Amino acid sequence: MKVLLLLFFLCPVAYGSLKFVQIWFRHGERTPGHYIYFPGDDINNTDYQQIAWPGELTKRGIYEEFSLGQRMREIYGKHFGDKYRPNDFHVFTGIDNRTSASAQAFFAGFLPPNKEQQWSADLLWQPVAQQTDASIDWVSLGAIDNCPVYGVTQRKSSEYEEVMEKMTEYDPELLELVRKHAFEPVTEAVIYNHIIDSLKVRYILQDDRLAYPQWANGYEFRIMNMSFLIHDAIVKIQNRTIGDYHNELVMSYFETHLQRNQSKGIFISGHDTNLVTIWESLRLDGHPEDIPNYGAHIAIEMHENGGDLTLKFFLAMGFNQTRVELFPHFCKRGVNGCAWEEFKAITENYRKPKSDWIYECQGYEKATEPVSTLTGSMIVLLSILLLSTIILGFTTFSYKRQLNNLRDPERARLL
């Protein structure tokens, strides 16, 4: 009995206590974001909109996110408690509707109202505040589509052109098949991905209202694989831009918690490419070479062990798939995970501030960030010019008044 009690008290010391967790999760099943017409499609058919509007969650996708929320409740319910407190965690989503809708479905499963907070006898649901962060969508090919400055730069780069060359070499037969049946030229990775994505989603849906084309039968595995290869290749060439920005987000969430010590976690509702970017930029060992399925998530936990902070990384490739632990390739593998101070030191030179990424993507600076030296100099110069104009105006007015006095007949005799 004494041994059991001793083990009971030593367990928290051995394994540490969970202080903070950030959970990055992918949205649920959706319809194609870009509706591509293929030979045999009825261009007047709108029945597919009954499944969901282009790029939106299907009913099955909503259920997947709800189930993911329930699953996360089983894992982290004790940490967050059964009462919704807005200060306990923050939720960030992209601008894409599917990320916002996924967050709502997730928290319907993750944090239903307790008796004290229940406001309806018919609906065990409560609204959970979420914030929109457009930069969550600026990843992989989404960055090329949504970033007017960065996208142009990427499309002109030799690295981007090489992505299409690699895809051509990897599966020339698939590319030729797609070119034969697409109504638009397939000359670059963005266009190729739009078509591959449309085929992939049609196959997953298995719905006659948006039927998978017969000419693609037998290519299903190759289409799925090509979808991952395109995104993975793009993510790799974005490692020092979008990868470093994701490092900044991951680190800043932890640092904000340590400074304020108020919240228990962060939830980010994003895309499969956010997960791929994180495991590429942090060089996480142990992840499979495949695209994360709907409802996949990466959880990064911060533990406190006898006063020392450590990090643990977990990945599930789908809303109902088994979680596996990942390890940063550059970090020493300890029993309690990667030491926080070591992780912070290694990532120090691989972080891109949000203001820098917004400027690189959109071409303008974030208004809430400190102004740059150039902007500050321009403001000072403008102030000097404005002050000079005011002084010159008063001087001109004074001279004009003296001139009018000299023209006055009553004053002319005094000269």
Per-residue tens of pLDDT for the chain, all 415 residues: 444 444 444 444 445 799 999 999 999 999 998 888 888 888 888 888 999 999 999 999 999 999 999 999 999 999 999 999 999 999 999 999 999 999 999 999 999 999 999 999 999 999 999 999 999 999 999 999 999 999 999 999 999 999 999 999 999 999 999 999 987 789 999 999 999 999 999 999 999 999 999 999 999 999 999 999 999 999 999 999 999 999 999 999 999 999 988 899 999 999 999 999 999 999 998 888 889 999 999 999 999 988 899 999 999 999 999 999 999 998 988 778 999 999 999 999 999 999 999 999 999 865 444 444 455 566 667 767 777 777 776 676 666 666 565 555 554 444 4
Question: Whose CA is closest to 199, among 230, 179, 178, 184?
Answer: 178
Q: Please tell me the number of Cα atoms within 13 Å of 61 on its side-chain side.
A: 27
Q: Kindly state the tokens that stand for 220.
A: 């299903």
Predicted pLDDT of residue 10: 43
Long-range interactions of 107-114: CB distance < 8 A, separation 24+: 107/69, 108/66, 108/69, 109/65, 109/66, 109/67, 109/68, 109/69, 109/70, 109/71, 109/72, 109/73, 110/69, 110/70, 110/72, 110/73, 111/69, 111/73, 111/80, 111/82, 111/84, 113/84, 114/82, 114/83
Q: How far is CA 257 from CA 43, 210, 266, in A?
A: 52, 46, 10
Could you tell me how many helices (H) and strands (E) the chain has, helices first?
A: 15, 9
List, in sequence order, every residue forming a beta bridge with 266; answer none if it has no partner.
Answer: 22, 90
Output the CA angle 61-284-158, nearest 5 degrees.
85
Q: What are residue 201's phi and psi, to 5 degrees?
A: -70, -40
Q: What sign does the CA torsion over 168, 173, 174, 176 have?
A: positive
**Which residue from 137, 111, 136, 133 is spatially nearest to 124, judged by alpha carbons?**
111
Contact 269, 106 (CB under 8 A): yes
The first and second tokens of residue 326, run together, are 């990942």
Determine what percent of the chain falls in helix, strand and coil, rounding each to the nearest 5. 55, 15, 35
Structural contact between residues 162 and 119, judged by C-beta atoms closer than 8 angstroms: no
CATH of domain 16-370: 3.40.50.1240
Type of residue found at 263: S
Taken in order 81, 84, 89, 90, the sign of the CA dihedral is positive
H-assigned helices in 206-322: 220-237, 244-260, 272-281
What token pair was written down for 303?
Answer: 């533990």
Rounded Cα–Cα distance for residues 317 and 97 (Å): 22
Strand-pair category, 338-339 with 308-316: antiparallel
